[in-house]
Amino acid sequence: MTSCKICQRKHIDGSTYCDHHHTAYTNLEEGYKQWRYALGVSWVEYLEKITKTSGTGRWVKEVADDILSGL
Amino acid sequence: MPERILVITEKPSSARRIARALDDQGKPSSLKNGSVQYHVSRRGEDELIIVSALGHLYTIIQKGKGWNYPVYDIEWAPTYQAGKSNPRTRAHINAIKDLSQGATGYVSACDYDIEGSLIAYTILLYAVGDHSLAKSRRMLYSTLTREDLNKSWENMLPALDYPVIAAGKARHEMDWLFGINLSRALSLSVRKASGDFKTLSIGRVQGPTLRFVKEREEEINTFVPIPYWKINAETKIEDKKYPLEYEKQRLEREVHAKDVATACRGKEGTIKAIRSETETTPSPPPFNLGDLQREAYRVFKMNPSATLASAEKLYLSAHISYPRTSSQKLPSSIDLREILRKLAKNPSYAKQAEVLLMKKRLIPRQGKKDDVAHPAIHPTGSRPRRLGDNEKNVYDLVVKRFLACLSEPAIHEKIQGDIDVNGHLFYLNGSKTLESGWMDSYQPYVKDKEVLLPELKVGMTLPITKLSSRRNYSSPPPRFNQSTLLRLMENQNIGTKATRTNIIDTLYRRHYIEGNIVRITDLGFSIIETLERYSPDIISVEMTRELEQNLEDIQSGNLHADTVIENTVKTLDPILKRFKENAEKIGSEISLTLKDMFYKENYLGKCPSCGEGDIMIQRNRKTGKNFASCTNTKNGSCNQTYSLPQKKKVYSTGQRCVTCSAPVIKMYYGRKPWSLCLNAACPTKKGEHK
């Protein structure tokens, strides 16, 4: 499979996502550190909250939805 | 010996004004050569023939034929030969040729900037002949007032401003070489990959500008908001409520916010210290073009191109000085007192002007930026009679900014009380205007946020009447608007004050960006992404900035124009070679987006007849009329077609008619939308046909 799990773009080496969604995933991971410190939430709670927060980037929401759908 | 001098201006309106100003009696004769009006002024013994261009009458064309790339062999030709739209340019060239007969001298009286200098030069060289150049002089002026124009005539440059002309010519040639070659490369790559032809363009400044928008969109799309908490508190003194500011603007943990709220809610605070200091806010400098465009966007939401157009109209009617300036300075050569005397006759500005006229010395606040050709934008003092809404707004802004820059600084007393609430520190902030200074002149465009506090004493106790902690989230970077995009271009030193607005307009025209809050379209995104991959130099800010520097060096005499054009070709050639090697890949990636766009624009809904095909907007190649049909009509498995309104753009609503299942479309009458079923034979329309 050569395309991103979410869109039709080519995935980057070592990731199942394209460059856009991979950057979104990296930011999502980084953001979790701050969310956990701020609210003490679990990874799943974080993903659920982030998809409903205004200001969350479109590609970040898509990655969060993708992770949640695979759980 | 009496002379017959041919004076060339940039526009017909400036020709009239210059003719009136230079004529001894102020009554020049207005005559016609064919359809072109010109003016004859008498000045002493001399006869001045004043005729206008229509902006550029000459432009660059490719030598030879063919629509391919690379093209480096170019020449200057009349704009009508280049297929440019204005057919009147031929009449102006012919009139200037006729009127130049018997002339003993020539004067370039076009706007004093690169374009103006180049317009007159190309006319003198190509329409009149190169013999005219040795006898040509240059008028320099910043306003079209009688005084300025006469002063300018008496102090003319004895020759044309050749370094400026060389820089202008090089800029046009460089932009043509980049623009035509890259745009052809893009369009041909799409044709090579898909067989379809679509005009696509990208230029030396367009590319990096579009890249800024794309990068911002990526930042927004990958943004993760981070929560933080703010403490909002309030106290009451003598029955009046005052907000209190917590010592930390943001708390990073919810538990900390709750702790503060629990500790302070319903408690009393004690004033531990009171500080006061005087704050001086200097008056703002006068406008340069970028400042004026940003301020007009801030206060009137006017687009930069609309602001420029209004400012140019005001300049051509001699109400303000030349607007395409970088300067934020008013030099001592400008008679500020005389301008104020004239403004004092206008009831709208009389009060402030008279206050300023009472000052012994008028010292304007000067900004940092300068322009060798023109001062900052300022009013001439002439009183406008009838102005459109936009011009009225821009004029008011320019006059009030001028008055403000001559006014005294504003002085405020800032007071801050430290309030201890159960071990937590809050601030009570107040501000009192001691001197409103320039803020009076700049009303209603500046607001004085005065917060008057009652008398405070150390040890005084204050009740905490309200306290809450509120969760907020960090925000993604904002999308650009035209004003912030313009500022970024300025800060990055790409384009010029004269070209930046046009570049943004071109990005809109090409459908690369859309909306007042600028969003990149799929097409714009795809073009930049593809170029980043296969031809990154085209969209490199560094390369564009370096080329701008070369052009500035030509103007200052440090670099020869021919060298810059040679270097442009040297830079462009490998870029185009690499582009050609990857043309098919570039074309196929962009054409995928184009197909997707075409589909989105023309899709009206599922076919109600066969249930499989899509109803798409089509164009009859013979009649040029629009209609809608099922995609399966091509293979003959369906014959569903609909006629469409021809004069209105049709949009999909994504809905089906509840009665006949045909797609429901939407059209706009002005701003009013109107939805209707596509099927002319739909039973719901029976009443309409009766």
| pLDDT tens readout for residues B292-336 | 999 999 999 999 999 999 999 999 999 999 999 999 999 998 999
Identify whether the C-beta of residue A25 lies closer than 8 Å to the C-beta of residue A58. Answer: no
**Helix/strand number for chain A, H first, E second:** 3, 0
Mean per-residue pLDDT for B23-35? 95
Q: How confident is the model at residue B690 (pLDDT cuts 50, 70, 90)?
A: very low
The whole-number pLDDT of residue B675 equals 85
B253 → chain A, closest CA residue: A38
| C-alpha to C-alpha distance for B52 and B92, rounded to whole angstroms | 8
Cβ(B117)–Cβ(B372) under 8 Å? Answer: no
Q: Is residue A42 part of a domain?
A: yes
Cβ–Cβ < 8 Å for B53, B93:
no
> Is residue A8 a part of any domain in this protein?
no
B3: its two tokens: 């002379």
Q: Cβ of B222 and A37 within 8 Å?
A: no
C-alpha neighbours within 13 Å on the C-beta side of residue B323: 27
Q: Is the pTM of this model over 0.90?
A: no
For the beta sheet containing B672-677, the strands, ordered from the edge strand earlier in sequence to the opposite edge, are B651-656, B663-669, B672-677
CA distance to partner chain A, nearest, from residue B302 (Å): 27
CA B335 to mean position of chain CA atoms: 30
- Tell me what the mean pLDDT of segment B603-615 comes to: 88
Strands, E assignment, B505-621: 513-514, 519-520, 603-606, 614-619
Containing structural domain, residue A44: 19-69
**For residue A39, is it within any domain?**
yes
For A39, which of B220, B225, B227 is closest by C-beta distance?
A: B227
Q: Do B222 and A23 touch (CB under 8 A)?
A: yes
Per cent of chain B over pLDDT 90 is: 74
B85 band by pLDDT with thresholds 50, 70 and 90 = low
Distance from CA of A33 to the nearest CA of B (A): 10
Main-chain phi, psi angles of B104, to 5 degrees: -105, -10
Mutating which of B217, B218, B221 best tests the A interface, going by the most A Cβ atoms within 10 A?
A: B221
Closest chain B residue to the Cα of A8, Cα to Cα? B592
* B223 pLDDT more than 50: yes
Q: Which string of b and e fits B578-611 if b means at least 16 CB within 10 Å? A: ebbeebeebbebbbbbbeebeeeebbbbbbbbee
Model pLDDT, residue B65? 87
Find the residue in A nearest to B252 (Cα). Answer: A38
Q: Which helix (H) or strand (E) holds B275?
A: strand B268-281
Q: Is the pLDDT at B108 greater than 90, yes or no?
A: yes
Query: Residues B585-603: what's their mean pLDDT?
Result: 87
User: How many independent structural domains does chain A possess?
Assistant: 1
- How is residue B92 written in tokens? 């102006």
pLDDT at residue B54 tops 90: yes
Domains defined along chain B, listed by start: 4-160 (3.40.50.140), 169-221+479-590 (1.10.460.10), 227-283+410-473 (2.70.20.10), 289-405 (1.10.290.10), 607-689 (no CATH)
What 3-state class would DSSP assign to B272? strand
Inter-chain residue contact B225 with A34, CB threshold 8 Å: no
**Residue range B57-79, pLDDT digits in tens:** 999 999 988 889 999 999 999 99
What pLDDT is stored for residue B600 in this prediction?
83
Q: Quickly state the pLDDT bin for B527 (edges 50, 70, 90).
A: very high
Instruction: Report chain A residues whose CB lies below 8 A from the CB of B218.
Output: 20, 23
Looking at the DSSP assignment, which residues form a beta bridge with residue B643? B627
Average pLDDT over residues B417-425: 96
Over range B660-678, report the average pLDDT. Answer: 84
Structure tokens at B134: 């040795």
Residue B389's contacts (CB-CB under 8 Å, 6 or more residues apart) are none
As a whole-number percent, the residues of chain B with pLDDT over 70 amount to 99
Instruction: Give the residue among B297, B311, B324, B308 at the shortest CA–CA distance from B483.
Output: B297
Residue B29 has pLDDT above 50, yes or no: yes
Q: Do B254 and A38 touch (CB under 8 A)?
A: yes
Count how many pairs of residues, chain A against chain B, have C-beta atoms within 8 Å. Answer: 61
Q: What is the distance in angstroms between the Cα of B219 and the nearest Cα belonging to chain A?
A: 8
Lookup: tokens for B567:
């270097």
* Residues ≥6 apart with Cβ < 8 Å to B454: B237, B238, B240
Closest CB from B218, B254, B476 relative to A55: B476
* Options B322, B349, B442, B512, the catalytic residue: B322
Q: Which of B9, B2, B225 lies closest to B124 in space, CA to CA?
A: B9
What's the gap in Å between the CA of A58 and the closest CA on chain B? 5
Q: Is A37 within a domain? A: yes
Amino acid B84: pLDDT: 59
ipTM over 0.90: yes
Select from A30, A38, A59 the Cβ nearest to the Cβ of B221. Answer: A59
3-state secondary structure B2-29: CCEEEEEECCHHHHHHHHHHHCCCCCCE
Return the structure tokens found at B220: 């927004």
- What integer best gives the mean pLDDT of chain B? 92
User: In one letter, which amino acid is B233?
Assistant: A
Locate the DSSP E strands across B503-550.
Answer: 513-514, 519-520
Q: Do A27 and B222 touch (CB under 8 A)?
A: yes
Annotation marks residue B322 as catalytic: yes
| Exposed/middle/buried for residue B237 (C-beta within 10 Å: 0-12, 13-18, 19+) | middle
Nearest CA in chain A to B478: A55
The minimum CA-CA distance between B214 and chain A, rounded to whole Å, is 12
- What is the pLDDT averaged over residues B599-620? 87
Name the pLDDT band for A1 (thresholds 50, 70, 90).
low
Is the Cα torsion angle B335, B341, B347, B350 positive or negative in sign?
Answer: positive
Is A31 inside any structural domain?
yes
Query: What would the two tokens of residue A50 be?
Result: 């982030």
Question: What's residue B602's pLDDT?
Answer: 87
CA-CA distance, B15 to B86, in Å (whole number)? 19
DSSP letter assigned to residue B82: G
CB nearest to A56's CB, from B223, B228, B252: B223
Asked if the Cβ–Cβ distance from B223 to A34 is below 8 Å, we say no
Considering the domain boundaries, does residue A57 fall inside one? Answer: yes
pLDDT one-digit tens code per residue, B430-474: 999 999 999 999 999 999 888 999 999 999 999 999 999 999 999
Residue B689: its pLDDT value, please?
42
- For residue A37, list chain B residues with Cβ-Cβ distance below 8 A: 252-253
Average pLDDT (B570-580) is: 93
- Taking any CB pair shorter than 8 Å as contact, residues of chain B touching chain A are 218, 220-228, 252-254, 473-476
> Does A13 fall in a domain?
no
Query: Using 50, 70 and 90 to split pLDDT, how confident is the model at A16?
Result: very high
* pLDDT above 60 for A50: yes
Paired sense of beta strands B240-246 and B105-108, if any: unpaired
Q: Is the pLDDT of residue B186 over 60?
A: yes
Are residues B223 and A27, on separate chains, in Cβ contact within 8 Å?
yes
Residue A56 in domain = yes
Q: Is A23 helix (H, G, I), strand (E, B) or coil?
A: helix
